[in-house]
Chain A
Amino acid sequence: MDDTPITDAELDALATLAGLTIPAHCRDGVRLHLATAHRMLHALEPLTGDADDLALAPVFDPAPGNDGAGSA
């Protein structure tokens, strides 16, 4: 996906896969938010080289001293 706005046909194809219908009055809004999400994807790049260790939620180890906490 590049920065070209997604077409109605593309939107409908994606929505069908997800089991959704995108009402006509929502299409511009959905396009706008998909474009924003796409820009966010580019913003990830400094931290996503060839990472193969995809992270789950950051539930911190409750053991003190295991979390990078300072000494103050």
Chain B
Amino acid sequence: MNGASALAGAVRRGELSAGETVARALHRIDAANGTINAFTAVVAERARARAAALDRGLAAGEDPGPLAGVPFAVKNLFDVAGLTTTAGSLINRDLPPAAVDAVLVRRLEAAGAVLVGSLHMGEYAYDFTGENAHDGPCRNPHDPGRMTGGSSSGAGAAVGGGLVPVALGSDTNGSIRVPASLCGVFGLKPTYGRLPRTGTYPFCDSLDHVGPLAATATDLALAYDALQGFDRGDPACARRAPEPVLATLTAGLDGVRVARAGGFFAAEDYPQARAAVDRVCAALGADREESLPGAAAGRAAAYLVTNAEGAALHCRHLRERVNDFDPDTRDRFLAGALLPAGWYLQAQAARRAWREEMATLFRRTDLLVAPCTPCPAPPIGTRHLELAGRRELLRPNLGLFTQPFSCIGLPALSVPLWLPGEALPIGVQLVAAPWREDLCLRAAQVLAEAGVAEARPGVV
């Protein structure tokens, strides 16, 4: 796998041209996308032109930026000039093409990266599987018969398959972390308000986050640093100066208080998830457990808020074009449109109480280790999951461990593990207090250096 850091270094040193890195990425996409269905659009002409401009600048002695010549791609809810922002839907295909790129696309390109295309996603981001009735299923690069997870399905598959070293996704309830877990890559959902969503198609405003997926912890930090900064186009974006993490990435975790997430996160026995958490806890010295009594309510609050806010966003389409939705999202949106207002308000109250519980926890603990998904990638087409002795729909429940943290905007990073004898990866979450993404990334780096967490090249 060609990492972003290595590629950018080679381009900056003149050992490789940006044109070559882009040509290689386009070749990989051409060879593999027919199998994994990660890309919904490839902007080859734009990418070649951008790479040529970078190479001309390099020849003229200009600094090409820390991501010089690094190919990247974005979930197709990010605006890309000239492409329609479909957000995984049929309905949005009637919209005109975006006039300008999303802010985060511009920031990566300003750092020297080169956009090569937009990526598959679950319809309107209401998905944990990577299946989409309009675009077909996105396929896991480690086993094309398996799910990628969603809703940033293409981002997980494209990075896991080595098509690009960095991709951008969105995460409302776990949509970066779930595909990161199932596709075996690193994925960061920053603090709510850290990165601007300007130029992205919304799902649930009070829960929507955007962030990077990458093949290494270093690449994740490199991309994250390039993405940071206030933007007035997103009302929820915090007026905070960038807090770069790359310089302290290898600082280790001396003095950092690490605990295992118990209670809700350990109530059911998911053997692979438990084994993965065991390995991470052992490597990070997490020898105590936090019981997190409010986590189940936090998860339920996220579920209800998403259902109500998401349905409100799509109410007009539910009235006028109900049969143009993916059936798996349509019925959920319809149900959300019928929820009593009192349920939504109770969910908001629980959300606040859960947030206060976690703020108290972070006075004694700096970093939590939690499972990311209950299992590795299920076969495509799987409809149900055993949950607390009940047979539940898989699509809304694959992210049950990610939802409590995005519910209250905490930074959370999924690291990929390969358990002995397993053919598929599984992720583990590292969760910190608001604005402490640096701790998540430092822990991910510790795990990478210890050989506990790694992204392996896909078989496709």
Contacts and interface: CB of A to CB of B under 8 A. Distances in A.
A19 to B, nearest CB: 6
Interface string A46-57: 111001011111
A30 B366 contact: no
Contacts of A9: none
A33 B335 contact: yes
A18 B338 CA distance: 7
Contacts of A68: 358-360, 362-363, 433-434
Interface in A57-71: 57-60, 62, 64, 67-71
Contacts of B205: 57
Contacts of B401: none
Q: Chain A at the B interface: mostly helix, strand, loop or mixed?
A: loop
14 contacts: A14-B338, A33-B332, A34-B339, A36-B393, A44-B297, A44-B349, A46-B297, A54-B349, A55-B351, A59-B236, A68-B360, A70-B256, A72-B253, A72-B255
A57 B337 contact: no
B322 interface: yes
B307 A37 contact: yes
A63 to B, nearest CB: 9
Residue from B335, B346, B351, B359 with most neighbouring chain A CB atoms (10 Å): B335
A47 B350 contact: yes
Contact of A44 (B253, B338, B347): B347
Contact of B297 (A32, A34, A47, A62): A47
Contact of B355 (A41, A55, A64): A55
Contact of A51 (B304, B353, B357): B353
A45 interface: yes
Interface residues of B, number: 72
B356 to A, nearest CB: 9
Given A62-B239, A70-B257, A19 B304 contact: no
A69 B350 contact: no
A58 B192 contact: yes
Contacts of A40: 300, 303-304, 347
Contacts of B301: 44, 47
B257 A32 contact: no
B343 A37 contact: yes
B6 to A, nearest CB: 30
B240 A62 contact: yes
A44 B192 contact: no
A20 B393 CA distance: 25
B274 interface: no
Interface of B: 191-193, 205-207, 236, 238-240, 253, 255-257, 293-294, 296-301, 303-304, 307, 315, 318-319, 322-323, 327, 330-332, 334-339, 343, 345-355, 357-360, 362-363, 365-367, 392-393, 396, 408-409, 432-436, 439
Contacts of B363: 68, 70
Contacts of A19: 315, 319
A3 to B, nearest CB: 13
Given A30-B335, A55-B348, A67-B433, A44 B300 contact: yes
Contacts of A51: 349, 352-353
Interface in A1-53: 11, 14-15, 18-23, 26, 29-30, 32-34, 36-37, 40-41, 43-48, 51, 53
Given A46-B293, A60-B435, A70 B332 contact: no
Nearest to B192: A58
A29 B327 contact: yes
Given A41-B343, A62-B240, A68-B433, A26 B303 contact: no
Contacts of B193: 59-60, 62
Contact of A48 (B315, B322, B350): B350
A34 B178 CA distance: 24
Contacts of B239: 62
Contacts of B362: 68-70
Nearest to B362: A68
Contacts of B330: 26, 29
A34 B396 CA distance: 13
Contacts of A54: 345, 348-349, 352
A72 B350 CA distance: 28
Contacts of A62: 193, 238-240
Contacts of A23: 322-323
A3 B206 CA distance: 29
Given A48-B350, A69-B435, A70-B363, A58 B355 contact: yes
A36 B352 contact: no
